[in-house]
Amino acid sequence: MAKIFSPERTGGDRAMISTGINGIDDMLGGGIPKGSRVMYSMEPGVDGQLFMISTLFAALSKGLSCLVVLPHTTFDIFKHDAATKRGCTMEIFNKKVVFIDAIDRERIEKSSRTRKDVLKAWETKVKKLSKENAVEIAFIYVDLLYNDLGLEGTISIAEAAKTSGKTTVILEHLNLEGRSLIDRFIEKYSYDLIIAISSAFRSPPHFNYFTLMHTSWSNVPRRSVPFIVTEGRVVPYIPKIVVTGPSQAGKSTFVSNASDLGFSVDRQGSSGDPTTVAMDFGWLHWKDFEITVYGTPGQQRFDSVVPMLLSHAMGVVLLIDATKPSALERARHHVQLIREKRLPMVIAANKSDLPGTMSDSEIRKGLDLQKDVPLFFISATRKGDVRLVLESLVDYITQYTN
């Protein structure tokens, strides 16, 4: 097996390579450290090819020298398909990129007598091209190599591309073996990043998601995030964030200020202020995430609706009136509901710009909160405050391990 180099651990953006998917770069702390070994592990049938293609396009547009190994197809077909998937022209491939494709595979097989010869020919070819072109990232489609040469052979070919510690190797693999194969990549071959791409294949709606299975350079917890493919981009998608809390805490204002687009179903309450009677609904595109926000009604008579709105939520903002200690008991009921569903939760103490705001410890004690639950003092009338809460919740969702 070829010599194994370690990824650069210097940190900072200069040593990082973008995955081409902002939401994932953020989750990874800026991208992939140069010199890493990465695997995109695809479940059969899931449309996840855009992950590796996004990383390739990001590298090419940064002017990095790339090698693409495609034993299953020709580079003509690949270029066409990749450009179509990204919704762009093939001009990007005029940059620094070299290919080894299905025709090379055929030549290698014809000129080799034994499996050992085939492996050697692959290693030699990959190493030569990698060296001659000072390749910084090698993108390898593993599927057929694995079929022809087994896992050890495939890993050996991938290592042949690493002509220095700075060369990054990225594999895409159709994983027919499931978790056991991923574990081997982590434990036996010390891969630095493994992203599994899966689908919940069922009667509609079909549902794709990626899971950060492992990172060697940071403590990003394992977390699954749904994604959609739109306009040639992978977009992490938070299908449902719920904003709940006692009546008059400011939930409708929060949802309205969180959203690019939204509406509220409300009526005049007994106090003369509008009160939500069904739900608030908002949608926003933020930091490469598509997010849908639902606000629950706060009045006790609508309590039966709240658990339904919490179903399938990915995270919850519990909004309380920071100037109203008497409402904490009611909010504890919401905390209980959220805990029962084991959902990531952040607390937003609204109206904290008004006099008589409770302290952090008073709120935590009143709601029986652990220290690790994020608590923000905000005014829901300020968009910046609202976005800060959402930002924290998205981070919390993508890193939540419960």
SS3 call for 150: helix
Nearest-approach distance from CB 159 to another protein, in angstroms: 23
Binding residues with another protein: total (CB under 8 A): 31
Token pair 């709120």 is found at 363
Token pair 């069922």 is found at 202
Pick the closer one to another protein by CB: 92 or 144. 144
Nearest-approach distance from CB 150 to another protein, in angstroms: 10
Sequence-distant (6+) residues with CB within 8 A of 3 are 159, 162
Q: Which DSSP state fits 91?
A: G
H/E run at residue 207: strand 207-215
- 300 makes contact with another protein (CB under 8 A): no
Q: Which of 299, 293, 313 is nearest to 390 (CA)?
A: 293
Nearest-approach distance from CB 92 to another protein, in angstroms: 16
Q: Enumerate residues 82-121 that contact another protein by CB under 8 A.
A: 84, 102
- Give the 3-state secondary structure percentages of the chain, helix then strand then coil, rounded to 5: 40, 30, 35
- 72 makes contact with another protein (CB under 8 A): yes
Binding mask 19-58 for another protein (x = CB under 8 A): -----------------------x-xxxx-x---------
Q: Which of 1, 81, 128, 354 binds another protein (CB under 8 A)?
A: 81
Please tell me the distance from the alpha carbon of residue 392 to that of residue 402, in angstroms, as a whole number: 17
Stretch binding another protein (CB under 8 A), from 78-86, 248-256, 257-265, 321-329: 78-86
DSSP string, 332-393: HHHHHHHHHTT--EEEEEETTTSTTPPPHHHHHHHHT--TTS-EEE--TT-HHHHHHHHHHH
- 61 makes contact with another protein (CB under 8 A): no
> Beta-strand (E) ranges in 43-181?
66-69, 97-100, 137-141, 168-174
Nearest-approach distance from CB 19 to another protein, in angstroms: 19
Pick the closer one to another protein by CB: 201 or 263. 201
- 361 makes contact with another protein (CB under 8 A): no
Burial degree of 29 (CB within 10 A; 0-12, 13-18, 19+): middle
- The answer to whether the CB of 39 falls within 8 A of the CB of 214 is no
Stretch binding another protein (CB under 8 A), from 69-77, 213-221, 336-344, 370-378: 69-77
- 74 makes contact with another protein (CB under 8 A): yes
Q: Which of 60, 101, 51 is nearest to 78 (CA)?
A: 101
Q: Which of 1, 88, 176, 354 binds another protein (CB under 8 A)?
A: 176
- 80 makes contact with another protein (CB under 8 A): yes
Stretch binding another protein (CB under 8 A), from 15-23, 79-87, 113-121, 340-348: 79-87
Q: Which of 201, 221, 312, 336 binds another protein (CB under 8 A)?
A: 201
Residues making contact with another protein (CB under 8 A): 42, 44-47, 49, 72-74, 76-78, 80-81, 84, 102, 141, 143-144, 146-147, 172, 174, 176-177, 199, 201-204, 206
